[in-house]
Amino acid sequence: MNFIGLAAGSLAAILVSLSVQAQDDERCKQGKSLRLVNGKIHTMDSRDRVVSSVLIRNGRFAAVGSEGHHGGDDCTEVINLRGRTAVPGIIDNHNHVVLLGLRPGHDTRIENARSIAEVQATFAARAREIPEGQWLTALGGFNISQFTPPPATARMPTLQELDTVTPKHPVLVMQGFNGPTATNSLGKAFFSGLNPPIPVDDNGVIPPVTQSIRALNALRALQTFAEQKRGLGYAMTYAAEVGVTTHLDQGGFPNVGVANSDNGVDALANFDRYRAYDSLRALYQEGKVFNRIWINFLHMESDPTTPELNARLLNVFNDFGDDMVRVLGIGEFTGGGLFPTGDAWRNGTRLVAMARWRNENHSLGFNVGGIPDWKIIIDGWQSVHDEVRVMPGLSDGITNLRWVLAHVPFMDTEYLNKLKGLGGGISLVGGWRYISGTATGNGPPFRLIIDSGIRAGMSSDGMQISPMNPWLGMYYAVTGRNARGDLINAGQLTTRKEILRLYTADNDWFLNLDGKIGTIEEGRFGDLIVLSGDYFDSKKVSDEEIKDVHSVLTVVNGKVVHDNLDGKKRMYWNRDSRRP
Ligand SMILES: [Zn+2]
């Protein structure tokens, strides 16, 4: 503060106010409480209560009801929601936020773009806030099929289209795990200068997988640790904007030190297991983690004795940490490779059962040896259960370990019942099939799974194969339509409330946080989002408009971590300029 030129009277007033401030800080040193009033707050509790006011103190909901119901005190900040709709913070029970944080360059989320013009608008907005010359990158989370509505065929933005909006920033755009990949003129100049050069065609396309992965790793080689921390901060910022307050991260594939292989190794989903969590730990120690980040460790190894998994289980505590960062279990692989086959997977799974950890495996719906992967996993879990339950102290087998089958594009009642009998649950995904699903590559069977009564919860599986934005997944569950507008999942639709419940209240079980998170009830974690529109009213937010829902106020652990209530903060993914 500049005191020069202040009249004595106003200086005295400032000193008084500073001392009041000091007393206030002393009194409020436990942290300020937060009271939200005049809202339409859907608690998602078992009675489906809608209340107008909540008080959050010490990170927990302290009172839930109406304005007259509770007061707070001098240390309470009051925010008037002016009738807006609020819901519990979204819990994403399966994603890859750690990988997103590790992306080189300034991540530019184009997962919400529905045309090339919207891709351009998103880059233009990002370019305005990033110093010239620095890389803008859009790596994973989208599918080119979403950029060119039918009848046009799916394609990348061209070099010329990228140059129009990013003349002063090099750009790299990469789909999925290893391409297709495109760049702009400044990017092309950089890649041409490498030794050996990375070829870029006239349209900005970097041709084969090998060269795409080389391009990615050329940028990774430039990345500093400070940039990794910045990247994770940005990933949490984006999550807060779309309303995700809690992540259960499912790890990455191990780097093998081959940065340009045809097999797609050291591609977008790979990381250095020794260093991958450094930025998360550093931000945690600095008190700068503002999403809840739960960790599963992914184990991909071919040695049938699974030495790495064995070491993990012997030397790491499971379900350990605090309410913001916590190690949970093993997943989404348990030894072996991409598919649940062979001795490594089988032995790894047995080890996890004997160590009594949680376990999660993904099902992509592919056949392995003529048998669907989900049948192999559930039958494999059954036989591991039968093996270990005769061992001393393990008579309940895996039935209390809450093992989770993820994605499940396909499933049937017989196997749902088997999994239920093993105490397992299902992590459903929406965004994956939304951006790339087809009439036969569809699912998951939301209706079948919800109606079966098995434990089920929602996830995004962002950020390679699928977008993080939960509203795209909810749109897909409610309408059955993919990003190209094709109805591909008819007969398996959910209501809006059902799918939101899977993304909030029902996800407490997936984090071992039963009764502690996911609803707005006294004593639960103080995580809440205020929505851009009334999601529950189809007259105010049409089915198509579900895709545009986002958070205008995000509260995590009782603290405001994103505030756009007045509409003045330009979002990173820029809703306003998104429609050119
Ligand atoms: Zn995953």
Which helix (H) or strand (E) segment holds residue 139: the answer is strand 136-139
Ligand 1 centre distance from Cα of residue 96 (Å): 6
Exposure string of 496-507, with b = 16+ CB inside 10 Å and e = fewer, is bebbbbbbbbbb
Ligand 1 centre distance from Cα of residue 236 (Å): 18
Ligand 1 centre distance from Cα of residue 305 (Å): 24
Which helix (H) or strand (E) segment holds residue 404: the answer is strand 404-407
Exposure string of 19-46, with b = 16+ CB inside 10 Å and e = fewer, is eeeeeeeeeeeeebbbbbbbbbbbbbbe
Compute the distance between CA of residue 562 and CA of residue 237 in angstroms, rounded to an integer: 7
Compute the distance between CA of residue 132 and CA of residue 488 in angstroms, rounded to an integer: 43
Angle at which helices 342-355 and 373-388 pack, to 10 degrees? 50
Compute the distance between CA of residue 322 and CA of residue 319 in angstroms, rounded to an integer: 9
Ligand 1 centre distance from Cα of residue 298 (Å): 10
DSSP state of 157: P
Exposure string of 468-488, with b = 16+ CB inside 10 Å and e = fewer, is bbbbbbbbbbbbbbbbbeeeb
Ligand 1 centre distance from Cα of residue 461 (Å): 5
Ligand 1 centre distance from Cα of residue 415 (Å): 21
Sequence-ordered list of residues with C-beta below 8 angstroms from that of 381, at least 6 positions apart, any chain: 349, 398, 403, 419, 422, 424
Q: Which residue has the tokens 């499933």?
A: 411
Q: What does the pLDDT profile of the chain (580 residues) look like in tens digits?
A: 333 333 444 544 544 555 555 555 666 766 689 999 999 999 999 999 999 999 999 999 999 998 765 566 678 999 999 999 999 999 999 999 999 999 999 999 999 999 999 999 999 999 999 999 999 999 999 999 999 989 999 999 999 999 999 999 999 999 999 899 999 999 999 999 999 999 999 999 997 788 999 999 999 999 999 999 999 999 999 999 999 999 999 999 999 876 555 455 789 999 999 999 999 999 999 999 999 999 999 999 999 999 999 999 999 999 999 999 999 999 999 999 888 889 999 999 999 999 999 999 999 999 999 999 999 999 999 999 999 999 999 999 999 999 999 999 999 999 999 999 999 999 999 999 999 999 999 999 999 999 999 999 999 999 999 999 999 999 999 999 999 999 999 999 999 999 999 999 999 999 999 999 999 999 999 999 999 999 999 999 999 999 999 999 999 999 999 999 988 776 654 444 433 3
Are 571 and 578 in contact by the 8 Å Cβ rule? The answer is: no
The phi-psi region of residue 345 (left if phi > 0; otherwise alpha if psi is between -120 and 50; otherwise beta) is alpha
Ligand 1 centre distance from Cα of residue 463 (Å): 8
Ligand 1 centre distance from Cα of residue 251 (Å): 8
Asked whether the bond before 180 is cis by omega within 30 degrees of 0, the reply is: yes
Ligand 1 centre distance from Cα of residue 277 (Å): 17
Upper half-sphere CA count for residue 426 (Cβ side, 13 Å): 31
pTM for the structure as a whole: 0.93
Residue 418 CB neighbours (<10 A): 16
Residues surrounding ion ligand 1 at CB below 5 Å: 250, 461
Compute the distance between CA of residue 456 and CA of residue 425 in angstroms, rounded to an integer: 6
Both tokens of 166, joined, read 């990013």
The phi-psi region of residue 378 (left if phi > 0; otherwise alpha if psi is between -120 and 50; otherwise beta) is alpha
Compute the distance between CA of residue 281 and CA of residue 287 in angstroms, rounded to an integer: 10
**What pLDDT sits at residue 24?**
56
β-bridge pairing 320-321 and 85-88: unpaired
The distance between the two most distant Cα atoms of the chain, rounded to a whole number of Å, is 86
Ligand 1 centre distance from Cα of residue 517 (Å): 22
First to last CA, the chain: 41
Q: What residues pair up with 172 in beta bridges, in sequence order?
A: 137, 183
Ligand 1 centre distance from Cα of residue 379 (Å): 21
**What pLDDT sits at residue 5?**
38
User: Under DSSP, is residue 332 helix (H, G, I), strand (E, B) or coil?
Assistant: strand
Backbone angles phi, psi at 570, to 5 degrees: -80, 125
CA distances for 117 relative to 101, 107, 123, 148, angstroms: 26, 18, 10, 10
Are 51 and 65 in contact by the 8 Å Cβ rule? The answer is: yes
The phi-psi region of residue 554 (left if phi > 0; otherwise alpha if psi is between -120 and 50; otherwise beta) is beta
Residue 255 CB neighbours (<10 A): 19
Ligand 1 centre distance from Cα of residue 95 (Å): 6
Of 547, 567, 529, the residue nearest 477 (C-alpha):
547
DSSP state of 547: G
Ligand 1 centre distance from Cα of residue 254 (Å): 14
Asked whether the bond before 196 is cis by omega within 30 degrees of 0, the reply is: yes
Can you count the helices (H) and strands (E) in the chain? 17, 28
In one-letter notation, the amino acid at residue 543 is D
Of 479, 365, 483, 506, the residue nearest 431 (C-alpha):
483
Sequence-ordered list of residues with C-beta below 8 angstroms from that of 404, at least 6 positions apart, any chain: 93, 331, 358, 359, 360, 361, 424, 425, 426, 427, 510
Are 255 and 271 in contact by the 8 Å Cβ rule? The answer is: yes
Ligand 1 centre distance from Cα of residue 312 (Å): 20
Ligand 1 centre distance from Cα of residue 441 (Å): 17
